[in-house]
Amino acid sequence: MIHNPIIPGFNPDPSIVRVGDDFYLATSSFSYFPGIPLYHSRDLEHWELINYAFTNPDYLPLAPDGISGGLFAPTLRYHDGKFYLIVVNMSVLTTYIVTADDPRGEWSEPHKFPMLFDPDIFWDEDGSCWITYAGSMMPGGNDKYRIVHRELDLEKWELVGEEYGLWTSALVDASAPEAPHIYHVGDWYYLMIAEGGTEHYHAVTIARSRTLHGPYEGYRGNPILTHRHLSNMHPICNVGHADLVELKDGSWYAVFLGSRIYGGYHKNMGRETFIAPVVWEDGWPVISPETGKCEFTYPSSDLPSHPFQEKPARDDFDGEKLALEWNWLGTPANTPTRLEDGKLVIRAEGTIRPEFVKPDIEMIMQGGMKFTPHALGFLGRRQQHMSFEAKTHIEFTPTSGSFAGLAIIQNNYAGMSIELAENDGRRVLRAVKHAAWQEGESFTDMQIKSETEVLAEVEWEHDCAVLEIKAAGQSHSFLYGEDEEHLHPLYEGLDGGYIGSETAGGFVGAFIGMFASGDGGEAKFDWFEYK
């Protein structure tokens, strides 16, 4: 069986391409570095993280202050022996196109363009290349034609010619028509988009035209995928933002984002990558044809099964470089981490619990965020399961204003941690909850309020400790000890629903990792384990 989600944990906005017997898939990474994870499969059932499209800090300016900035909605395509990936960096309002001969290898320096929201790249039969994007999402955007495109000169790497208006949306005055992809199938050009916003009312809709520039006619059966009509109790919600792929045998599949809820309407893992079969009827694609909604399982394709070797639960940090699963929050131009003598060393850089500063939206839309690319003293990996155990061994001497340990974070203002710290001259181990909530109905009136609560605290005379966070669904417990065999509960039963993306806000998902925060010092981590 194919089990959904095919790529669990924070992996939204999937874009897929088939090259021979291989499938490659890219997802959004927002303000995490490296940028744009790339996955590989040969059977659509088993997937392996193989690389990132942005691995050079010089090419990707990010800041940790707004996790939901950064890289939005990539499109991955293959043309004439080369891979192309187009994506917008919303932190600096710049569109990037990078290329590679092999997605596992080095990707090019970005070719840069002004902001194009959720861009798609498409080659017509005459060899011309077209960039399609959500014009209505841009300053001074086109409200008559919400989805537009322009030609790209691949020799000069410039947009040329006029902007063609293609389509508005399926629903009249639909919220956020975005994520366009163009396909040429048979005698028709198909334009598939997302609309309804990326929360509960997300949907996939489609239109077609006999010519590339339209006019595009919407399908009477729209939306072709949504769960917005289902109850908040349905275990998969907000499905949308899809991409299509054709197999060698002529069968089709769609990949798309969705979220698993648990312990209430909470989406701790954010938006994940799902898949469903597609059939064509009367010239239109029908997704998940037997049920009309995303299921947790589908029969396997006719492709030979191709599992990958399971990665070990424990990382001993003995290699020369970090495993692919690890991400920084922001661009690590300030090198907050290093591998040394079989340990991960994290320097205290900033804090994972900052105070909220409301962004100047007008300034951002005029010229992007103004910042020096940098990362926090945090190294994390995606939470991929509702129930798990995460633990590490830390060596750290806290000083006034510094603390380090193990954390789960959803965004800048919502997380939990178990950490070594100093309190009134005493060295302590403590469990901490950091929560945020929104006040005000409209965006202009919105205020984010946050507070930090110490759940439990014990004196600790040692420089070393084993720290663990254990989750049984939304019930989170914090444990500590001198070694793994003798762990003691520090706090049990914290309801983690408050770190769900729907509750805490933002476009990302929970990360679990190690950190050092505050006014200085370094923490050393001997190993990390996630089960």
What is the set of active-site residues? 13, 178
Cβ proximity of 116 and 133 under 8 Å: yes
**Structure-derived torsion over alpha carbons of residues 257, 260, 264, 269, reported in degrees to the nearest 10:** -80
Cβ proximity of 75 and 83 under 8 Å: no
Cβ proximity of 260 and 386 under 8 Å: yes
d(CA 8, CA 393): 26
Cβ proximity of 507 and 32 under 8 Å: no
Cα within 13 Å of Cα(59), Cβ side: 20
d(CA 167, CA 181): 12
Eight-class DSSP state of 356: P
CB atoms within 10 A of CB 526: 16
The alpha-carbon radius of gyration of the chain (Å, integer) is: 23
| DSSP assignment string, 279-348 | EEETTEEEESTTTSS--SEE---SSPP---PPPPSEE---SSS--TT-EEEE-GGG--EEEETTEEEEE-
d(CA 286, CA 301): 17
Spatial neighbors of 425 by CB under 8 A, at least 6 apart, are: none
Reported as type and span, the H/E element at residue 438 is strand 426-439
Spatial neighbors of 290 by CB under 8 A, at least 6 apart, are: none
Largest CA distance in the chain: 75
Cα 442 to chain center, whole Å?
A: 25
d(CA 5, CA 261): 12
**Strand ranges for 22-137 from DSSP E:** 22-26, 32-33, 35-41, 48-54, 71-79, 82-89, 94-100, 111-114, 120-123, 129-134
Peptide bond into 34 cis (omega under 30): yes
d(CA 169, CA 146): 7
Cα within 13 Å of Cα(519), Cβ side: 7
Tokens of 138: 């841009």
Tokens of 411: 């965004």
d(CA 328, CA 33): 5
